[in-house]
Amino acid sequence: EFEFQSAGAFKRLSISSSSSSSFYKGDFGSIHIEQNATISFLIKPPLTIESAHKKEVGSTKNGRDSMRKRLDVKIFGDQAAKAGFIIIPQRGTKFHPGNNVGLGRDHTLFSLILGLVKFEKFGPDKKKVIVHFSLTRSSNIRILDMISIFSK
């Protein structure tokens, strides 16, 4: 059985290690008590906190880009359009459908008949697309030329 009396036992207590770097390495330290009695013990290293670092090669968060959607006018004014041809693919109704023009679920405008495409303004800031079959000779020649191109 071991008894320890604390009265005056720690009058000359000092804690030391062999070097300042040994504390971080976890070397042995020692406690010196009066009468030169030495008790050795293992000092635990302090808590280490890892710094931020980059992830592995090949894992990126911002490296994506989508293909462009090519949302531009496909058939311009005074050009012939066959039934079902897409005139303007669009997001939202920037152009509104007029006579003989259909509006798809994604707001795409398409021709309902064979004819010439016309663009008109209505209101201060709205545009309308119309496809009409003209009875003038010059436009009929243009339509007949387009029919021959479409049928090839």
Q: Where are the domains of the chain?
A: 10-46, 80-150
Cβ–Cβ < 8 Å for 85, 118 = no
pTM over 0.85: no
45: alpha, beta or left? (left if phi > 0; alpha if psi -120 to 50): beta
Edge-to-edge strands, sheet with 86-88: 86-88, 109-111, 101-103
Mean pLDDT, the chain, whole residue set: 75
Tokens at 77, concatenated: 């004014």
DSSP code, position 91? S
Instruction: Count CB neighbours of 138 within 10 A.
Output: 8
User: Is it the case that residue 130 has pLDDT exceeding 80?
Assistant: yes
Q: Is 105 exposed, middle or buried (0-12, 13-18, 19+ CB in 10 A)?
A: exposed
pLDDT per position as a tens digit, 16-49:
545 555 445 555 555 555 555 556 656 666 777 7
Mean predicted confidence (pLDDT) in 8-18: 51
Fold of 80-150: OB fold (Dihydrolipoamide Acetyltransferase, E2P) (2.40.50)
Helical H segments across the chain, by residue range: 20-25, 137-150
Cβ–Cβ < 8 Å for 131, 83 = no
Mean predicted confidence (pLDDT) in 67-88: 92
User: Is it the case that residue 142 has pLDDT exceeding 70?
Assistant: no
